[in-house]
A = this chain, B = another copy of it.
Amino acid sequence: MAETFDKKKTIDLRHKYIGPSCKVFFGQDPIKIVRAKGQYMYDERGERYLDCINNVAHVGHCHPDVVKAGAMQMEILNTNSRFLHDNLVEYAQRLQATLPDSLSVCYFVNSGSEANDLALRLAWQYTGHKGIITLDHAYHGHVSSLIDISPYKFHQMTGSQHSQLVYVAPSPDIYRGKHREDHPDAATAYSDEVENIIQDAHKKGQKIAAFIAESLQSCGGQVIPPQGYFQKVAQHVRTAGGIFIADEIQVGFGRAGTHFWAFQLQGKDFVPDIVTMGKPIGNGHPMACVITTRKIAEAFMSSGMEYFNTFGGNPVSCAIGLAVLDVIEKEALQSNAARVGRYLAELLRQQKEKHPLIGDVRGVGLFVGAELVKDRSKRTPATAEAQDVIYKLKEHRILLSADGPDRNVLKFKPPMCFSEENAKFAVDRIDEILTDIEKTLGLPVPSNAGCANHNSCHGVLCDKTVQKQHGNRNSHLNGVDS
């Protein structure tokens, strides 16, 4: 618990030895965290912070069952998967059991980036095609192949030009995107965009290996695709000989509340060809996984190239992974995510009725976004205001972040043990902060006092009927949750 260096010295050493591209939270006044437990983090002075952002600490920081499983296995054996080990196969079996039968073959890796890169390799090898379709504002990882398919990253780059084999489809964001909540069939409209890209590629003589998307776009601004979108996209992509990669790295593992995997929100008739999983699966331990079909796995093998990952699937990682699955079950964290997430979204929706700065509230389970706008009709992003909220929440010892292409979406993705009390505490502080900011800005109270039917749809994916019932101008009804 004691510090090795005082905070100033830590900052100095960080400037000296750590790559300047590696940013800290709250750059102007970073936080030094020395310990954490559950949904709380503690700084060097013992101040407690409510953690609304660390989705990696999925079952809660330093969960004793997970720590114990890791420590025990570290004492006994930690080696590579060229030796047989029960943890590896048991964990693979347990993971598979959470997925549709056709997704049955696992590759264990160390990070979401390694997982998505391998997914691309599988797609390229299986299809023999090169083109990848990604969504605008997507983030899929930091290795070079993934920067290429991450507009969220390559748009940051001065003078960037993205790979000619990468096609960017519009993000299916019905609040700010190309087709909005007033569109009679946004799912079809957005999937037609993908189909047009495929046709354009074909005209240039190029072929599509895969469509890749987060099942819920996270860095892209907590975007929830309209139901049916993935089915339609998958149909177009498969017709073109490509496959569908669902990136569940940020959003899988029960976070969506009603389902274990976020792609399942689209309906039972949708099954991806590859699912990648990462961040939460080891509760912070570096591990990730790719699961695909037997057919794709066999095509990959037919290349003749061995796949070896030094650390991937080692007995310690697998012991930790098994413990995480056990805790999710034992503590009913998926249903906690559903219940608390519904409550959190409800609280935020109430705030939306009160605060003109809140343009939209959307979410499923403990994946919730509140998009701040300066003007509700123009939907002008309130970027500076969102930053202001984040910094002021920090003063109240609440850790929240603002993300999305305009950095104006307050983004909740807390550990899954987050409670209703935590949600109330955070939203009450947001209420106070927004009241202050709006007073300073002289903003009026919003005219639309929210949707009368919201109780019928929050926490689960709205179907189009419900969306229509809600009407067009209720911008908080963003595909899913009000």
Any chain B CB within 8 A of the CB of A266? Answer: no
Interface residues of A in 272-316 (CB under 8 A from B): 278-279, 283-287, 292, 297-298, 300-314, 316
- Give the chain B neighbours of A147 by CB distance below 8 A: 121, 305
- Give the chain B neighbours of A156 by CB distance below 8 A: 303-306
In this complex, which of A74, A305, A312, A314 has the most chain B Cβ atoms within 10 angstroms of its Cβ?
Answer: A74
A78-B106 contact in complex given A85-B33, A287-B286, A305-B21, C-beta closer than 8 Å: no
Any chain B CB within 8 A of the CB of A22? Answer: yes
Q: Mark A64-101, 1 if CB is under 8 A from B, else 0.
A: 10010011001111111111111111101100100000
Distance, CA A79 to CA B23, complexed state (A): 14
Interface residues of A in 110-129 (CB under 8 A from B): 110-114, 117-118, 120-121, 124
Say whether A83 contacts B157, CB under 8 Å. Answer: no
Residue of B nearest to A10 (CB): B84
Selected from B11, B77, B312, the residue in CB contact (under 8 A) with A33 is: B77
Residue of B nearest to A3 (CB): B86
Any chain B CB within 8 A of the CB of A41? Answer: yes
Any chain B CB within 8 A of the CB of A158? Answer: yes
Interface residues of A in 326-356 (CB under 8 A from B): none
Q: How many identical subunits does the complex contain?
A: 2
In this complex, which of A34, A89, A313 has the most chain B Cβ atoms within 10 angstroms of its Cβ?
Answer: A89
Any chain B CB within 8 A of the CB of A4? Answer: yes
Distance, CA A111 to CA B287, complexed state (A): 11
Say whether B77 contacts A61, CB under 8 Å. Answer: yes
List 3 A-B pairs, minimum CB-CB distance, nearest first: A71-B71, A13-B89, A17-B92
Q: List 8 A-B contacts (CB under 8 A).
A: A4-B90, A11-B84, A20-B298, A21-B307, A22-B81, A62-B75, A117-B143, A157-B304
Sample of 11 more A-B contacts, CB < 8 Å, known A56-B80, A278-B310: A5-B89, A24-B84, A34-B76, A35-B77, A56-B311, A62-B78, A79-B284, A114-B142, A143-B145, A157-B303, A158-B302
